[in-house]
Amino acid sequence: MKSNENYPINLLDEIAGGKWENNLPNDITGSLEYVLDGLPERDGRVIRARFRDEKSLEEIAKSENVSRERIRQITVKAIKKLAHPLRRNYLIYGVKGMENRAVQQAVSKQLYAATKSILDISEILGNALPDSLGSLKFTEIDELDLSVRGYSCLKRAGLNTLGDICALSLDELAKVRNLGEKTFDEIVKVVHKYNLKFKDE
- Cross-strand pairs, 140: 161
Percent residues over pLDDT 90 in the chain: 39
Q: Is 114 contained in some domain?
A: no
**CATH code for the domain of 46:** 1.10.10.10
**CATH code for the domain of 196:** 1.10.150.20
Q: Is 97 contained in some domain?
A: no
pLDDT(188) > 60? yes
Q: pTM for this one?
A: 0.53
Per-residue confidence band for 44, with pLDDT thresholds at 50, 70 and 90 = very high
Percent residues over pLDDT 70 in the chain: 80
Question: How many domains does the structure of the chain reveal?
Answer: 2
| Residue 43, domain extent | 9-85
